[in-house]
Amino acid sequence: MNTLILGSGGREHALAYKIAQSPLNDNLYIAPGNAGTPDHGINLDINPTDFVNLKKSILEKKIGLVVVGPEAPLVAGVTDFIESDSDLKNVLVVGPGKLGATLEGSKDFAKEFMYRHGIPTAAYKCFDKNSIEEGKKFLDNLNAPYVLKADGLAAGKGVLILNDLSEAKQELENMLNGKFGKAGDKVVIEEFLSGIELSVFVLTDGDSYMILPEAKDYKRIGEGDSGLNTGGMGAVSPVPFAKGAFLKKVEERIVKPTIEGFKKDGIAYKGFVFIGLMNVNGDPIVIEYNVRMGDPESEVVLPRITSDLLEVLIATGEGRLSEKKLEIDERTATTVMLVSGGYPGDYQKGKVITGLEGVEEAIVFHAGTGFGSTNNGKPIVTNGGRVIAVSALGINMEEALKICYLNIEKIKFEGKYFRKDIGFDLV
């Protein structure tokens, strides 16, 4: 099989790493990829939302399977584009169509979906520019903290959690007046949930489903979960508190009704479902859906999958997922993200990265890296806020983290920052 992975982050490097291990893999391409993905395939210089060039490459490279990494091409309709083009009708796609992708693209849509199908989620109401006053009255009737969410995609920045009522009212107004651009044309206000978060991943062909290992992500930039939200600073899988009984509740109350909901609503969904959950006194409550794998969660979830991932992805595309079984490594995987100084605020790019060749036992997943063009060949340089995820497997979390942190010391670039306390709340 010739496979094309769309995207350029640590998640896509992890997908490439797994797919390249498959005996079914003929040629693997990553568009656009990063400086790590050429270890497993060939980078193509195409923007995943440039459908015209995408089609050209799919035909030229005789691609049989497209695996969509990030949400943007899904929300832009890449799956519908491929599936409706008569030249591409034999190409399999892992990633939902535009309608399914709305579960991530619109919080209001996702909340309505959950309400319609009886899936536990925080109570909410949605407001727009014409209902600011109603929104403020709604806030009056809630208790602090107040949770305000821009309806649309806002690069992980569209959620505000505020303790002060008048500040919450002001931010509601700011959001509806364009603070997050079009993403904030509608704002969801919801009840605050108190508990521990975790992420559950499901792969579905629209009919049957497979539950992947769960993971916990560390979103804040600072130690002890302080400071600004990021795309994710590290992750751990499995999550110790997600034992059999809790995961059974997740499957019965959330996963099954979600897949059934797709069928009832006529949402054709072949791909990953990322369910962001809060464990509230032992009960799982959905915070959000994403329509893709998580990043950096992929960097711990995928290394724990011992089955042939490509075989499973092909079966997903072909609607034969029920024939497959997933085998999981019982060990714990951890990942720690190395980021550029200043991230998630402003940061510089193009810093030379050294020491990668000294990494032992750990797996280096490139995220925001690229090839520089100085005179000593083509050094690997930083090319984003989140630069490299260092993952490891160990008999327990402490062991895995030890391997991550030992190897992190060997990797150097100007401004390198990472959290030294990944997993701190799980010991």
> Which residue ranges make up the site for ligand AMP (CB under 6 A)?
122, 147, 149, 159, 161, 190, 192-193, 197, 219, 276, 287-288
Closer by beta carbon to ligand AMP, 12 or else 190: 190
Q: How far is the CB of 206 from ligand GLY (least distance, A)?
A: 22
Choose from ligand AMP, ligand GLY, none: what does 410 bind? Cβ within 5-8 Å by kind.
Answer: none
Closer by beta carbon to ligand AMP, 26 or else 140: 140
Q: How far is the CB of 236 from ligand GLY (least distance, A)?
A: 12
Q: For the stretch 137-166, what's the b/e string if a residue is b when 16 or more beta carbons lie within 10 angstroms of its beta carbon?
A: ebbeebeeebbbbbbbbbeebbbbebeeee
Say whether residue 290 binds ligand GLY (CB under 6 A): yes
Short-list 104, 118, 121, 108, CA closest to 284: 121
> What are the tokens at 354?
């050294």
Closer by beta carbon to ligand AMP, 281 or else 375: 281
243-282 mask for ligand GLY (x: CB under 6 A)?
Answer: ----------------------------------------
Which of these ranges, 59-67, 88-96, 287-295, 411-419, lies near ligand GLY under the rule CB under 6 A?
287-295
The CA–CA distances, whole Å, from 404 to 7, 294, 392, 395, 407 equal 24, 19, 6, 13, 5
Short-list 319, 54, 127, 106, CA closest to 209: 319
Closer by beta carbon to ligand GLY, 301 or else 400: 301
For residue 45, which phi and psi values (nearest 5 degrees)? -85, 70
Structural element, H or E, at residue 246: helix 244-249
Say whether residue 384 binds ligand GLY (CB under 6 A): no
Give the contacts of 279 (CB within 8 A, at least 6 positions apart).
Answer: 195, 196, 197, 198, 241, 242, 246
Say whether residue 295 binds ligand GLY (CB under 6 A): yes
The alpha carbon dihedral of 397, 402, 405, 411 has a sign of negative
Q: What is the dihedral of CA 111, 113, 119, 122, to 10 degrees?
A: 10
Q: How far is the CB of 220 from ligand GLY (least distance, A)?
A: 12
Give the contacts of 330 (CB within 8 A, at least 6 positions apart).
Answer: none
Say whether residue 232 binds ligand GLY (CB under 6 A): yes
Choose from ligand GLY, ligand AMP, none: what does 147 bind? Cβ within 5-8 Å by kind.
Answer: ligand AMP
Choose from ligand GLY, ligand AMP, none: what does 197 bind? Cβ within 5-8 Å by kind.
Answer: ligand AMP
Short-list 354, 391, 349, 390, CA closest to 370: 349
Choose from ligand AMP, ligand GLY, none: what does 308 bind? Cβ within 5-8 Å by kind.
Answer: none
178-217 mask for ligand GLY (x: CB under 6 A)?
Answer: ---------------------------------------x
Closer by beta carbon to ligand GLY, 85 or else 225: 225
Q: Are 104 and 110 in contact (CB under 8 A)?
A: yes
What is the SS3 assignment for 146?
strand
For binding to ligand GLY (CB under 6 A), which residues are involved? 217, 231-232, 290, 294-295, 297
